[in-house]
Amino acid sequence: MDSQIGIDITEAIDSIIDTNIREYEDYMRLKIGQLLTFMIKEKADIAVFPENSIPPSALPVLIGHRDRIATFAGFGYIRPEDVVHLKQSGVIDAHKFIQRNIAVFVPVSGDPIVVSKKHDAQGEVMDPGEGRTVVDFVDSKDNRIRVGLAICMDHLRQKGDAESDMDLVSALSKSTAEFTGPVPRRPTAVANHAAFGGSIVSAAFMSAIDFVNSRGTDPLPPGAEGILIVEWNGSPTVPKGLQSVRNSLTVRSALLYDDNVASDLGELKGIASLSDMMNEWPKSKFQDPSFTGQVAGALAYAESNSSNPILVDALKNLERRSRRAKGDSADWSLYTRHLRLSEIRSPIDVRYKALDRLRKELLRMVSGGARWDRCLTKLPGLRTGYGLSTQTGS
């Protein structure tokens, strides 16, 4: 291959990478907007996103929802080209965060607050920042709360540095067990990447019809994009038998994408449509004997077609409850509320499209050389779309 072909291929690949980045940022802005809209509808005060999960160009989306919900979102390693997005959104001295791993807290009023990671993970390359930060926050009930903000390892190393009423952790970790441990003295929300699971709200005296334990919520399973929302009313100050504080898990929702899977369940056209049907189940049906059969059919379909175990777990528990005909129907909505993302492809589909664009351009560039074509057929994901297993999520 002569030097000119090498230059042409390099330029073509650079152009494709730029296109892929723009499309990914557009995709994330649309997705984050729908996530925040769902959480606002469910009356959440603060949304927490995992470490390195939000592109800096999506900061205006967070700011655009700030009058209804505050956010703490992991942006990850900051490059020089990211600074313009931070500056345009009101981040002070944005340039000093270059080569740092950051998360941004967007309060309901005031400038965005940048938290920069101090303690690196094994093998992580970054400039150390200031670490855990504590800020004042006023919730929708006008309660003033001291909130600790930390990125992953900083929570483990610094959680005792400054007092807070609750802690929010933006994480990227294979395990979140060390973040929770015994029941914490203050509630701790850990948002981790869907590939590893483990997102959890750890708090004392948590109640719900399912998916809670003595330490708080059950962690989300690996490989499942989902949303947890907890109503926290404080820690009891009297013995448990006398306490009136009720902290509860109100939402445990799967994130589902539009699909075209065939179905035998009436008008149903796929897993996303299944979630729509579940959202529309009236409370009156929960005590109907025929409802158990309908749930069983939905469960069988989900087990055969869904890759999101949050949805499957919800249907399993709902079927169990319906067979026993027990439980307050209002609580049963914990099983039926899921978020169907509109006009958004799943993360794996986004990756397939990006790889396929690269494959087509490379084949076009070297169409005169069958040897190159044979090489490309051996690259998993490029030729056939197979071989990708990475999952990300919020």
pTM of the model: 0.83
Q: What is the pLDDT of residue 6?
A: 52
Tokens of 13: 């690949």
Q: What is the pLDDT of residue 19?
A: 81
- In this prediction, residue 390 has a pLDDT band, given cuts at 50, 70 and 90, of very low
Q: What's the average model confidence in pLDDT over 23-36?
A: 92
133 and 116 Cβ atoms separated by less than 8 Å: no
Give residue-wise pLDDT tens across range 244-272: 557 899 999 999 887 554 444 444 457 77
Give residue-wise pLDDT tens across range 293-343: 888 888 998 898 877 899 999 999 988 888 776 555 556 889 999 998 888
How far is CA 64 from each of CA 33, 56, 172, 228, rounded to the nearest angstrom?
9, 14, 26, 22
Q: What is the pLDDT of residue 383?
A: 32
Q: What is the pLDDT of residue 115?
A: 97
- In this prediction, residue 385 has a pLDDT band, given cuts at 50, 70 and 90, of very low
Q: What is the pLDDT of residue 352?
A: 72
Percent of the chain residues topping a pLDDT of 70:
80
- In this prediction, residue 206 has a pLDDT band, given cuts at 50, 70 and 90, of confident
Tokens of 95: 């340039």
Q: How far is the C-alpha of 259 from the C-alpha of 189, rounded, in Å?
A: 31
Q: What is the pLDDT of residue 89?
A: 93
Tokens of 224: 């499942």
Q: Closest by alpha carbon to 265, among 295, 293, 298, 290?
A: 298
**Considering the chain, what is the average pLDDT of its residues?**
81
Q: What is the pLDDT of residue 325?
A: 64
Per-residue pLDDT at 394 exceeds 50: no
Q: At what angle do helices 289-305 and 271-279 cross, to 10 degrees?
A: 150
Backbone angles phi, psi at 255, to 5 degrees: -95, 125
96 and 108 Cβ atoms separated by less than 8 Å: no
Kindly tell me the burial class for residue 77, based on how many C-beta atoms sit within 10 Å of its own C-beta (0-12, 13-18, 19 or more): middle
How far is CA 110 from each of CA 46, 63, 70, 209, 243, rounded to the nearest angstrom?
15, 10, 11, 38, 36
- In this prediction, residue 179 has a pLDDT band, given cuts at 50, 70 and 90, of confident
DSSP 123-183: T---------EEEEEE-TT--EEEEEEEETHHHHHHTTTS--SEEEEE---S--HHHH-SP
Q: Residue 314: helix, strand or coil by DSSP?
A: helix
Give residue-wise pLDDT tens across range 280-291: 887 667 667 778
Q: What is the pLDDT of residue 350?
A: 74
- In this prediction, residue 381 has a pLDDT band, given cuts at 50, 70 and 90, of very low
Q: What is the pLDDT of residue 240?
A: 52
Q: What is the pLDDT of residue 378?
A: 38
Per-residue pLDDT at 166 exceeds 70: yes
235 and 205 Cβ atoms separated by less than 8 Å: yes
Q: What is the pLDDT of residue 366?
A: 65
Q: How far is the C-alpha of 120 from the C-alpha of 257, rounded, in Å?
A: 34
- In this prediction, residue 379 has a pLDDT band, given cuts at 50, 70 and 90, of very low
Q: What is the pLDDT of residue 7?
A: 53
Per-residue pLDDT at 186 exceeds 80: yes
218 and 211 Cβ atoms separated by less than 8 Å: yes
Per-residue pLDDT at 69 exceeds 50: yes
Q: What's the average model confidence in pLDDT over 377-394?
A: 34
| All structural domains of the chain | 45-235+244-256 (3.60.110)
Q: How far is the C-alpha of 27 from the C-alpha of 12, rounded, in Å?
A: 22
Q: At what angle do helices 3-41 and 347-365 cross, to 10 degrees?
A: 170
Q: What is the pLDDT of residue 280?
A: 80
